[in-house]
Amino acid sequence: MSDKCYVVPNPSGPTLAVSIDPDRCVGCNSCVNICRIQTLLPNPVHGRPPIVAYPDECWYCACCVEACPRGALEMHLPINQRIFFKRKETGEVFRIGAADSPSKSYFQPPVGW
Amino acid sequence: MNFQNNNGNEAIEWPYPVHYDRTIHVYADVLVIGGGLAGCCAAIAASRRGKKVVICDKAPIKKSGCGGAGMDHWNTVLESPTSPMSVEENIECGRDTGMCHRDYIAEKGTWDALMELEKLGLNIRDDLDEFKDAATRDEATGLLKAYDYREMVAVKLHGGNYIKPILWKGAKDAGAEMYERVMVTSLLTEGGRQGARVVGAAGFSMTGGEFYVFHSKSVIISAGYACSMWIYNMEITGNSYRWDPNEIGEGLAMAWTAGAEVYGMHKAGSTKGNNPFAWPRFGIGNPSNTWFPCSIVDNRGKEIPWEDVNGNILTSVEARNIPAEGQPYIGSSKSDNLQGIGQANLIHDLGERIRNGEYELPLWADLAGMPEAERRSIWGVMIGNEGKSRFTLYDLYTRSGFDPEKDMLMAPVELPENYMKFGAWFHGEPDVVKPWRTENGGQGEIACDWKLMTNLPGLFVAGASGGLEGCSFACSTGFYAGNRAAEYAADTDQGEIDEKQLIAERERVYAPVKRTGQKNAYVSWKELWGGTTRVMQQCCGEYKTVPILKHGLMWLESIKNTEGQMTFARNPHELARVLECDTRFTVSSIFLHACISRIEAEETGETDGYIFNRLNGENVETVFKEKKYWLKGENEPGYLDNYEKCLERERSGR
């Protein structure tokens, strides 16, 4: 029984699940340390972005996104789950995540958060 | 961009130092297996009783478990000062679940648990008056009522997304020791005997691979449901899966193997979502649950009328939240057993009216058209806090330009009749997994007595492992079980762990590691999982007969002894996944055995009570219990008497 172990990360398809912006990430591993699945593992190179090792096992709880102090992580719903919304006044129809969706907006969350 | 640094799929070294041969002994008064809502509450309660508490979890406890991803409302607070009905009445008039004492305990503690959570720091009230004068708000308390705006039986929680970090901190502050990413694989019993007192548990670390031996005077199983027994979790399920994938029934399997009785497993209900046709839960237009009571319009903008449970058309949005004539309150059909407390819904003949052209698909959830307070409640308090919706829905959708003040969210296109079924909105078409599930029927659980103790001395259950689903029930039974387990531990010595049992378990746990690299060890855990789900799809479907069920048992055994011995594990993560498949063999066999017991009991006419099952050596025993056994013999006469008796020590501070 060898203690030498290897990770063979799964390929990025069909679901990316979560992406890490290497320009923002400082390799603090906050996301790794909160991930319930071990989808994220620390990069063997200190200070580099974590490895998205098992995206196929991801539950999409996004605790990693919440934990990132630098806003470097983003969850991505798979294409088959991106539903439409319709602007009531104009009847225009948009799809979540589509290139032509309206400019990004933040709906004011209720205070008290 | 090389997002994932794995474009070439190149192997990298496991990032944590591994010591498969190392054994770590941990000593506790109370061991909690599963650190979700129930487990943390149990740990807090037991620690406060002066006990040394250890919590194990496969995940980081700060956000682990189903509730770790958030929650939006708190069900069944019948002990609140203004409750429309007592818990006693609610249980007496409610559905016979076969373990009504357990339901009583859960309902009895929800209000106190909520108050306790507030003390620990959870934001539960509309302190900043965002919802002043809104119908959802209870003016006396500042709490926001859910479903029912006349009676307060369910409460929307402002800070529900943070429930887990608050409980985690509470447990830490109370002194509980935490072992995270430690997977408990079996219970240890006195003398290694089945049916004997539980004296600890064995497990291993999912990072370092070390073997863990927990010595404990009492043990609480709060490990959630047994999920994904029928469906292999395909890779494009996305955000559809409601239950934490760590919930695969280890608690149930280890209790069963140790000789604990289980109840209701013949219901054989898998859980929903978790299929490639499903939608993000709560992330599509719908009128129920988290989205209740959102108006739904058809594709031409025509609003679908609502009706109450008596079939009367409701003419205003406000009326949807007011109990219908004869209804004591509006509850949640998921966690409440009382009949007739259902919520208002879209007109019952909607399917027909779609087919005859009166309404055109797709349907849209008209958030823009809702009164402002309701809109902010749905797309704010609820979606902003509910499990897995704060970031993957609330944030992601708004960043995609979705504006709740202007927009309507589409509902998936379904068979028109399916819009009447709660859940069908989320599951998607085709509803392929329907024959393998019972709609909100539960799935069976570990049986327990008035102390939430199993038939194995020293082994307690809390939360979904004991059939008590939902955040409020998980917390209330967690606090209760923690107290009872602490009392048990106070009266007992540290039991002796059986060396032989330990050696056998260590052998089992590391077998997949030992065989890795051998030429016939080419089966992945995924293939093994997929293989066991096929057995359940074929042999535990809607049409069940004893020969089919027995065939399933034989099939499971065959896979276990063949491919189950060929599965590799290249690191501690994969080892955990392989061992989860071992758990699936056990859990699946419990479902099959329980279904056989049920059919045989029906054939002999023994159906006027409840059927429990337990393992005795190689044999599965069927145990019959008479109607309302929980109020018979030493448990006469009533619910409150038993409950009070169990709380005596806690109250006197002994």
Q: Is residue B139 part of a domain?
A: no
pLDDT in tens, A77-97: 989 899 999 999 999 999 998
- CB of B166 closer than 8 Å to CB of B120: yes
Interface A:B, Cβ pairs < 8 A: 242
| Chain center to CA of B440 | 12
Residue B7 has pLDDT above 60, yes or no: no
**Selected residue with higher pLDDT from B237 and B449:** B449
Residue A34 has pLDDT above 70, yes or no: yes
Sorting pLDDT into bands at 50, 70 and 90, what band is B273?
Answer: low
Torsion angle of alpha carbons B135, B136, B142, B144, nearest 10°?
Answer: 180
Q: What is the CATH number of the domain that holds B578?
A: 1.20.58.100
Examine the domain organization and report whether B513 and B419 are in the same domain.
no
pLDDT in tens, B301-317: 999 999 999 999 999 99
DSSP class per residue in B348-412:
TTHHHHHHTTSS-SSPEE-STTS-HHHHHIIIIIITTTSTTTIIIIIIHHHHTT--TTTEEEEPP
Kindly state the average pLDDT of the residues B568-587.
Answer: 97
Residue of chain A minimizing CA distance to B365: A85
Sorting pLDDT into bands at 50, 70 and 90, what band is A113?
Answer: very low
Examine the domain organization and report whether B425 and B526 are in the same domain.
no
**B300 in contact with A, Cβ within 8 Å:** no
Q: How far is A96 from chain B (nearest CA, A)?
A: 6
Q: Which of B204, B159, B165, B206 is nearest to B61 (CA)?
A: B165
**B244 in contact with A, Cβ within 8 Å:** yes
Count CA within 13 A, CB hemisphere, residue B225.
Answer: 23
Q: Residue A78: its chain B contacts at CB < 8 A?
A: 236, 238
Both tokens of residue B14? 């496991």
**B62 in contact with A, Cβ within 8 Å:** yes
For tokens 């393992």, the residue is B615
Most confident of A47-56, A99-108, B602-611: A47-56
pLDDT in tens, B358-397: 999 999 999 999 999 999 999 999 999 888 899 889 989 9
Residue of chain B minimizing CA distance to A71: B391
Q: Is residue B108 part of a domain?
A: no
CB contact under 8 Å between A85 and B398, yes or no, is no
Most confident of B150-164, B220-234, B270-284: B150-164
One-letter amino acid at B91 equals I
Residue B603 main-chain phi, psi, to 5 deg = -65, -35
Closest by Cβ to B403, choosing from A51, A56, A105:
A105
Residue B556 has pLDDT above 90, yes or no: yes
Kindly state the average pLDDT of the residues B177-192.
Answer: 98
Domain containing B579 equals 504-610
- H or E element, residue B169: helix B163-174
Sorting pLDDT into bands at 50, 70 and 90, what band is B458?
Answer: very high
Position B108 scores a pLDDT of 97
**B283 in contact with A, Cβ within 8 Å:** yes
**Positive or negative: CA dihedral B28, B31, B34, B35:** negative
The domain total for chain B is 2
Residue B437 has pLDDT above 60, yes or no: no
Cis peptide before A44 (omega within 30 of 0): no
Position B438 scores a pLDDT of 39
CB contact under 8 Å between B6 and A65, yes or no, is no
Residue B48 has pLDDT above 50, yes or no: yes
Residue B507 has pLDDT above 60, yes or no: yes
pLDDT in tens, B77-111: 999 999 999 999 999 988 888 999 999 999 999 99
Q: Is residue B641 part of a domain?
A: no
Q: How far is B260 from chain A (nearest CA, A)?
A: 28
Q: Where is the domain boundary, B380, B413, B431? A: B431
CB contact under 8 Å between B573 and A43, yes or no, is no
**B376 in contact with A, Cβ within 8 Å:** yes
Position B124 scores a pLDDT of 94
Q: Is residue B298 part of a domain?
A: yes
Position A47 scores a pLDDT of 93
Q: Describe the crossing of helices B546-561 and B525-539 by its angle, rounded to 10 degrees.
A: 170
pLDDT in tens, B327-339: 999 987 655 677 8
For tokens 């590799």, the residue is B568
Q: What integer best gives the mean pLDDT of chain B?
A: 92
Q: Say how far apart CA B444 and CA B273 lie, in whole Å.
A: 19
Residues 6+ apart with CB under 8 A from A64: A18, A31, A32, A34, A35, A39, A40, A73
CB contact under 8 Å between B15 and A15, yes or no, is no
Residue B436 has pLDDT above 70, yes or no: no
Q: How far is B117 from chain A (nearest CA, A)?
A: 16
**B34 in contact with A, Cβ within 8 Å:** no
Binning chain A into helix, strand and coil, the percentages to the nearest 5 are 15, 15, 70
Q: How far is B221 from chain A (nearest CA, A)?
A: 19
Sorting pLDDT into bands at 50, 70 and 90, what band is A16?
Answer: confident
Q: Is residue B439 part of a domain?
A: no
Residue B423 has pLDDT above 90, yes or no: no
Sorting pLDDT into bands at 50, 70 and 90, what band is B189?
Answer: very high
Q: Say how far apart CA B285 and CA A3 lie, in whole Å.
A: 50
Q: Where is the domain boundary, B407, B431, B455? A: B431
Q: How far is B43 from chain A (nearest CA, A)?
A: 20
Q: Which of B20, B63, B247 to mutate to test the interface with A (most CBs of A within 10 A)?
A: B63
Residue of chain B minimizing CA distance to A3: B18
Residue of chain A minimizing CA distance to B300: A91
**Residue numbers of B between 196 and 235 with CB closer than 8 Å to A:** 206, 209, 233, 235
Where are the domains positioned within chain A?
A: 18-80
Position B435 scores a pLDDT of 43
Sorting pLDDT into bands at 50, 70 and 90, what band is A111?
Answer: low
**B18 in contact with A, Cβ within 8 Å:** yes
Position B156 scores a pLDDT of 95
Examine the domain organization and report whether B525 and B416 are in the same domain.
no
CB contact under 8 Å between A20 and B398, yes or no, is no
Position B1 scores a pLDDT of 36
CB contact under 8 Å between B513 and A1, yes or no, is yes
Q: Which of B411, B458, B452 is nearest to B647 (CA)?
A: B452
SS3 readout for B36-103:
CHHHHHHHHHHHHCCCCEEEEECCCCCCCCHHHHCCCEECCCCCCCCCCCCHHHHHHHCCCCCCHHHH
Position B442 scores a pLDDT of 57
Position B242 scores a pLDDT of 79
Position B240 scores a pLDDT of 81
Q: Say how far apart CA B159 and CA B147 lie, in whole Å.
A: 18
Closest by Cβ to A107, choosing from B9, B126, B404:
B404
**Positive or negative: CA dihedral A59, A64, A65, A67:** positive
Q: What integer best gives the mean pLDDT of chain A?
A: 88
CB contact under 8 Å between B19 and A63, yes or no, is no
Domain A18-80: CATH architecture, name and number where available: 2-Layer Sandwich (3.30)
Q: How far is B308 from chain A (nearest CA, A)?
A: 27
Closest by Cβ to A9, choosing from B6, B59, B406:
B6
Q: Is residue B245 part of a domain?
A: no
Residue A108 has pLDDT above 70, yes or no: no
